[in-house]
Structure 1
Amino acid sequence: MIFIFTAKNNNGDTFTITKMNVERIKQEERLFCKSCDSPVMIKAGEIKIPHFAHEKATKCAFASEGESEEHLLAKRQIMAWFGFQGIPVELEHYFPAISRQADIYVSDATVIEFQRSSVPISEMIQRTMDYLSIGLEVHWMLGQTIKKEKGRISLTIFQQAFIQFEQKLGYHFWHYSASDKITTLYYHLTFEKGNRFFASEMKFSSKAPMNEWKQKIARIITRHAYVKRDRELERQKICFYYAKFKKHGQFMQKLYSAGYYLHYLPKEIGVDLEEQFLVITPAVEWQFDLWETFFNMLEKGDTFSEECFLEKFQSVVTQIMTIWLSPNECLKLGKSYIAYLISVGVLSVVPEKRYRVKRVMTFSGNRVSRV
């Protein structure tokens, strides 16, 4: 179902249709799409919420952006929140310079995009870059249901695209529920494993003014969460998972061809770190590739630079795609792995961002020859 909420008349006056003003708008002689200038008509039945629709088939780029009723309801609720506070706000504003139509346009300076359906992440990134190119501030609100279980939240790859970073809030994202009329800030995200995270939550009522929101956010204290891990158990689970579900996969075939068994690899390979979510590549795979192409070339006492290590690290991982995180965000994971190797005595720190091999990573079994 395709909905349009904003249209203009012959004089260029803009109308955002609601149940309250639909009869008034019907008095207009002609109404047109703000994006393509094609005639539109009013649709106001007993079931569907009032909206505009193109009178004829059209090539309007925005007529293909079908939105659910919940999506449209959310946009109206967010717009109303700004309106109640006397803040200038407009629904479905069109920017000719970049051929974009924003969900919500606030105070002639800010765009708010509410996203409920899964779309290509690259599309959201391009949309953001277009808004930024004309000097607009951009905010994204996730509208999909967040799965919660046993004190954790599970985020799909698409949902992780909304994660951003700020020093006090740490990794965080914003969520809006149209059914509850509640905005939620998920902050201090801490990766556990798979797609699961620990997170703090702060909820904001649509009846609360902006100043109250700002005061609550100001009270957040910077903190670093700690996740207790049983490395030995994690290794057992990794071996079981790959043996059952990935035994014919590329990684297992590579190990087999090189004469290695997964459960014999050094215990420092297959270590999940808090920043692991920043890359798509599983920890056991990129850490093995690092060992094979980097650490395996070093002997006890050898040194290497952080720059050299991070360059090799980037070559063996694929970073997740997000709207806001820097292309170099995944380097935090590489640095965390270095910190881990220092903590377990594999490496030591030397001046000028260099590291020395204190001991080599050893196998718990013999390498098997392939004839």
Structure 2
Amino acid sequence: MLTAITKNGKKLCLGYDYKKESLLSLRSKEDFFCPICGESVLLKLGDHRIFHFAHKRGGTCREFYDHESIYHLDGKRQLYQWLIKQNIPAVLEYFDKEIQQRPDILFKFNGKKYALEYQCSPIPEEIFSKRTKTYLENDYIPLWIIASRHLQLKQRDIDTLSNFHYLFLRSSLPGTFFIPSYCPEKQHFHLVESITPFSIKNAFTQHSFYSPDRLEISSLLTPKPQKRIYMPKWKTEMDRIIQNMIRYSDQHKKKFLLEIYNNCLNPFLLPPEIGLPVPHSILIQTPPVIWQTYVYLDLLSHKKPSDFITMQEMKEHLNRRVKRHEVVSRHLPQVSHLNPLLAVIEYLLYLTKLGILSKVGETCFQVKEKIWIPHSNRERDESMVRFNQKHGSLCKIINEN
């Protein structure tokens, strides 16, 4: 830990750049105590490790300071200094007795109270969610920052993100999502942005790197969106998902395939209007090509031109699929207020831009033309050509919404 209390009740914070000589002198004449449990602690001043306090062997205060790594200590110290240099009121290792939680850093910005947690080791989702919920219920805005060493780029613009990674997902502007991380060794922020999942674990992403002196807190909380998905590459991934679904089919995939076969659909001949990238699809763990096929079957396949699709129908369709576990919501504690129905609405809005639907008022869509279902590879290629013509060209960058 980086904070302790002296005999006379003063707080000593090692988040500041103390000289070793000054701390050696202070250690020779002072005793230090844990601010939480009151036990005596040792001031460690090694030559190769960050200065820190440590409980003596046999101490009982392990809940808040158990096995903190040097990587973690150095990271939260650098983050604390980053805030202080911006003249942002911040407290390192503040313990809130009422909620029995201790964020790594408490700070205030624009009249709001933030609890910054720098997480370097995996923790159970239940603990993450409980801490986040407690912060929100007590007027804190949680700001979880993951250690950069947990992020590994799979390809230039594709990441493999686990459920643990998604716990750190934040929303800056409507429909924009990002994961903040920090590396104390390289001393830079690493933002994973423009996250658009195409499968349970894989997503198109963009990466930005900033040194602390080039990134202000406002830019970390609300980074500028960068939506850059090339439709040809997206469609390639959609095709790969279908191929893998046929090759490695589990119980849920078999159920999906059986349903589309029963509705006279061929998984290899799905129209290009099914499986499109929409911002809030991140709220749904089920791949877009699957949940959008369900939207087609439930809301579009039986409709004729001039028929309406109501908000009530959308809700009933989604709730039924979720209840059957055919559509699975993603666990996102920091954006839990967002409803996966937003993804369905965005998909229908996308279809309005393709001329399939038209929007009527705030809660209704009207069918303008039916989605044409290919019955051969030639017809599928023709439908793709028409689809691409509506977007300009195959290489056009999608910047929807």
* TM-score, structure 1 as length reference: 0.77
Contact (CA 8 Å) 1:269, 1:288: kept in 2 or not?
no
1:229 and 2:240 aligned: no
Deviations 1:258-284 (A, max 9, x none): 854752664268504233332111223
Q: Is the 8 A contact 2:308 2:364 kept in 1?
A: yes
Contact 2:271 2:371 in 1 (8 A): no
Structure with the higher helix share, 1 or 2: 2
Query: What letter corresponds to residue 64 of structure 2 in structure 1?
Result: F
Q: Structure 2 counterpart of 1:339, which letter?
A: L
Deviation per CA, 1:40-93, whole angstroms, max 9, x where unpaired?
3344445543431244241642144x3321111111112233445565543212
> Which of 303, 308, 317 is equivalent to 2:308?
303
Tell me how far apart the structure 2 counterparts of residues 96 and 202 of structure 1 sit (CA, whole Å). 36
- Output aligned runs, 1:1-371, within 5 Å: 4-17=1-14, 20=20, 21-27=22-28, 30-45=31-46, 47-50=48-51, 51-58=53-60, 60-64=62-66, 66-84=67-85, 87-106=88-107, 109-145=113-149, 146-148=151-153, 151-152=156-157, 154=159, 156-157=161-162, 158-167=164-173, 170-187=176-193, 189-191=194-196, 193-194=198-199, 195-199=202-206, 201=208, 203-206=210-213, 213=216, 225-229=228-232, 233-245=236-248, 247-253=249-255, 255-256=257-258, 259-260=261-262, 263=267, 266-267=270-271, 271-275=275-279, 276-295=281-300, 298=303, 301-316=306-321, 317-344=327-354, 346-351=356-361, 353-357=363-367, 358-359=369-370, 362=373, 364=375
Q: CA deviation at 1:176?
A: 1.5
CA 1:90 to 1:235, structure 2 compared with 1: closer, same or farther past 3 Å?
closer
Structure 1's 34 and 155: CA in aligned 2 closer, same or farther, altered over 3 A? farther
| 1:114 to partner: Cα distance | 1.1
- 1:181–1:218 distance in 2 versus 1, CA, 3 Å: closer
Aligned match of 1:368 = none
Say if 1:190 and 1:225, in contact at 8 Å, map to a contact too.
no
Q: Deviations over 1:228-286 (max 9, x none)?
A: 236764553223211222x2432214534785475266426850423333211122332
Sequence identity percentage: 20
Q: CA deviation at 1:191?
A: 1.9
* CA RMSD between the two structures: 3.8
Distance 1:139 1:67 in 2: 19
Residues 4 and 33 in structure 2, CA contact (< 8 A), matched pair in contact too:
yes
Change in CA separation of 1:332 and 1:13 when aligned onto 2, cut-off 3 Å? same
Matches of 2:141 and 2:234, distance apart in 1: 43
The Cα offsets for residues 289-343 of structure 1, whole Å up to 9 and x where unpaired, read as 3444444554555322134214422543332222432433433321222134445
Q: Alpha carbons of 1:225 and 1:46: their partners in 2 closer, same or farther (altered >3 Å)?
A: closer
Cα distance change of structure 1 residues 291 and 86 upon mapping to structure 2, 3 Å threshold:
closer
Q: SS at 1:180's partner residue?
A: coil
Tell whether the 8 Å contact from 2:36 to 2:95 is kept in structure 1 after alignment: yes
SS in structure 2 at match of 1:255: helix
Match of 1:369 in 2: none
Separation of aligned partners in 2, 1:231 and 1:169: 18
Which amino acid letter does the alignment assign opposite residue 199 of structure 1? Q
Alignment partners' CA distance in 2, 1:199 and 1:42: 42
**SS, match of residue 240 in structure 1:** helix
Displacement after TM superposition at 1:156 (Å): 1.5
Alpha-carbon distance in 1 for matches of 2:63, 2:106:
19
Q: Which amino acid aligns with 1:285?
A: I
Counterpart of 2:145 in 1: which secondary structure?
strand
Partners of 1:218 and 1:97 in 2: CA distance: 26
Cα offsets for 1:173-220 (capped at 9, x unmatched) = 432210121224454x152634233326262334x6xxx737978998
Q: How much does 1:35 deviate?
A: 1.7
Report deviation, 1:99: 0.6
* Conserved 8 A contact 2:257-2:267: no
Moved more, 88-97 or 193-202: 193-202
Contact 1:175 1:183 in 2 (8 A): yes
The alpha-carbon distance between structure 1 residues 248 and 88, as it changes in their structure 2 partners (threshold 3 A), is closer
Paired AA for residue 208 in structure 2: E
Unpaired segments of 5 or more residues in structure 1? 366-371
CA distance in 2, matches of 1:219, 1:7: 34
8 Å contact 1:15–1:25 — kept in the other structure?
no
Amino acid at match of 2:9: G
Question: Structure 2 unaligned runs (5+)?
Answer: 322-326, 377-401
Distance 1:356 1:116, change over 3 A: same
* Partner Cα distance (2:251, 2:29) in 1: 64
Report the alpha carbon displacement of residue 117 of structure 1 after superposing the two structures with TM: 1.8
Moved more, 254-263 or 119-128: 254-263
